[in-house]
Structure 1
Amino acid sequence: MSKNILTFVASTGIQKTKLSRECPFCSIDHLSDVIDIHGEMILLKNKYPTLEKASQLVLIESKKHDGDISNYEINEWEHILKYAICSWEGLLNSGEFKSVLLYKNFGPESGGSQTHPHMQIIGLKNTNGYKNIRGDDFGGSILYQEAGVIANISTYPIMGFFETNIIWNTQQAMPVAARIIQETVKFVLNKYYKGLCNSYNLFFYKIDNQYICKVVPRFVASPYFVGYRIGQKFDDDYVRHIKNEFLKFISNLQEA
């Protein structure tokens, strides 16, 4: 069975490490290859594409250098999420790519190179990004549900330990999904693991007409996963503890 391998363009990657520390996304007048501007959001081609046979786009979310899902007003985050998914689906429906990925890095352990808030949309011409994804990657203990949106904790996480899946089916459910994603991110950065987590990823999937956002707190990757592709999960007692903490946390947020 062939492996899913992306070819990294090392010369471009090395070039990125030599860039000025000045934030390129704050200098809007110097941006190039802009595809679309929607309010404060800017969709553009990645100036330093590091993958062969791929189209790499960057979605700058906001003018705020220190902006993040955790500190956006909810209406602002709803607009960003809606625009990101619309842009992603545009590439999905173009027929140009075998698969299209949408994800977000935040924090020093997330794998990102820029701190300014942004997402990435990657069109892969010859690679199926979902090849190693299975249905049970998104199943698990129900954490919260409201108005057609379900949040659960993965029973079989891709990497581990605490992977939250927010699942919805319709555009009408997106405002609720956006709020639950925001509440989950706030929980990850403020309460999860005694507040010691400062990084996360969001990964988006569209499977059988369902939208899925997987929220993954990030730490240094486990050697079990790096060396053997073995994910880990918490024991059932700790999962119940997290669920109780989460429900108490979002209840306090909603009452504030």
Structure 2
Amino acid sequence: MEMKHLHFNTAIGMQKPENIRNKNAACPFCARDELTNIINMDEPIILLQNKYPVLENAYQTVLIETDDCHGDLSTYPKEHLHKLIRFGIKHWLDMEATGIYRSVIFFKNHGPLSGGSLSHPHMQIVGLDEIDYSETVVPEMFEGIVISEEENGPRFTLSTKPRVGFYEFNIEMAEDFYQERFAEYLQIAVHYILNHFPFKANSYNVFFYHIEGKIYAKVVPRFVTTPLYIGYGLPQVPSNLEWMAEELARIYFNVLQTV
């Protein structure tokens, strides 16, 4: 299998601000009057070019989710939640539709183990010149135990064949139009990770995919990555998936656990 690598510019990377661990560092996203290269905005949401484009052969943008530096996707009011996810998906698909890029990725980092550098809530939309992310995507990574689903609407599952291993939550909807339940399932997954997960978790990623007429979001709690995946690419499947799916259904959808 051909290996595909993104090239990271370390000279630019060393200039990036960081305030997840360095709590005393100023937040550049809070200095809204100083933001430059703004692409679009729907207050308080702002999409702008990334000031520190560390990825080569790529067009990097940042989506600032809110003007509240301590805001969080897990607790956004429904009005703002839908405004944000609708805005993000629109600009992601619009960038994809230009045909300029081989593919366009849309993702979110949260917390010290997520790979992010700034704590202010934000996402990233990145156009890749030479890499098609869909070549690494297989349908089975979205298969799982159904937690909740709407008739002819979004579906919320817990992966039985996770991409990296252990616990991965999937949300899917048709590409035709935005459905509010999609964002609500996404928010529930994040809220569960931060508040009810059986292992203390303070970090997660959200990855969006546009595959075969569907929009997917994969929500992944982040811990130290297992060496079996790092060294051998072997995902592990935990033995308590059924319990976790039932627990989520009980907490958020008032569904009693089966005996």
TM class by shorter chain equals: over 0.9
Q: Aligned pair count?
A: 250
Q: What CA distance in whole angstroms lies between the structure 1 residues aligned with 2:2 and 2:164?
A: 21
Tell me the residue number matched to 1:243.
245
Q: What CA distance in whole angstroms lies between the structure 2 residues aligned with 1:156 and 1:113?
A: 29
Question: Higher mean Cα deviation, 221-230 or 114-123?
Answer: 221-230
Deviation at 1:17, TM superposition (A): 5.4
- What CA deviation, in whole Å up to 9, does each residue of 1:164-209 have, x standing for no partner? 1101115555201111111111111111124x01111100001111
Deviation at 1:251, TM superposition (A): 2.9
Q: What CA distance in whole angstroms lies between the structure 2 residues aligned with 1:173 and 1:83?
A: 10
Tell me the residue number matched to 1:132.
136
Tell me the residue number matched to 2:257.
none
The question of 1:28 aligning with 2:32 is answered yes
Deviation at 1:158, TM superposition (A): 0.8
Deviation at 1:97, TM superposition (A): 0.2
Q: Which runs of 5+ in 2 are unaligned?
A: 255-259
User: Is the CA contact 1:7–1:52 (under 8 Å) kept in the aligned structure 2?
Assistant: yes
Tell me the residue number matched to 1:144.
148
Q: What CA distance in whole angstroms lies between the structure 1 residues aligned with 2:17 and 2:188?
A: 33
Tell me the residue number matched to 1:11.
11
Deviation at 1:39, TM superposition (A): 1.6
Following superposition of structure 1 onto structure 2, how do residues 31-180 of structure 1 map, counting pairs within 5 Å? 31-147=35-151, 148-170=153-175, 172=177, 174-180=179-185
User: Is the CA contact 1:4–1:131 (under 8 Å) kept in the aligned structure 2?
Assistant: no
Q: What CA distance in whole angstroms lies between the structure 2 residues aligned with 1:93 and 1:99?
A: 10
- After TM superposition, the score normalised by the length of structure 1 is 0.93
1:172–1:86 distance in 2 versus 1, CA, 3 Å: closer
The aligned amino acid for 1:143 is I
Q: What CA distance in whole angstroms lies between the structure 2 residues aligned with 1:198 and 1:47?
A: 27
Q: Which runs of 5+ in 1 are unaligned?
A: none
Q: What CA distance in whole angstroms lies between the structure 2 residues aligned with 1:209 and 1:79?
A: 22
Secondary structure of the 1:206 match is: strand
Following superposition of structure 1 onto structure 2, how do residues 176-255 of structure 1 map, counting pairs within 5 Å? 176-194=181-199, 196-235=200-239, 238-251=240-253
1:18–1:156 distance in 2 versus 1, CA, 3 Å: closer
1:36–1:173 distance in 2 versus 1, CA, 3 Å: closer
Question: Higher mean Cα deviation, 5-14 or 135-144?
Answer: 135-144
1:172–1:93 distance in 2 versus 1, CA, 3 Å: closer
Question: Higher mean Cα deviation, 13-22 or 96-105?
Answer: 13-22
Deviation at 1:14, TM superposition (A): 1.2
User: Is the CA contact 1:13–1:50 (under 8 Å) kept in the aligned structure 2?
Assistant: yes
- After TM superposition, the score normalised by the length of structure 2 is 0.92
User: Is the CA contact 1:157–1:231 (under 8 Å) kept in the aligned structure 2?
Assistant: yes
% identical equivalent positions:
37
Secondary structure of the 2:46 match is: strand
Q: What CA distance in whole angstroms lies between the structure 2 residues aligned with 1:71 and 1:18?
A: 24
The aligned amino acid for 2:162 is P
Report which of the two has the higher share of helix. 1
Q: What CA distance in whole angstroms lies between the structure 2 residues aligned with 1:39 and 1:173?
A: 20
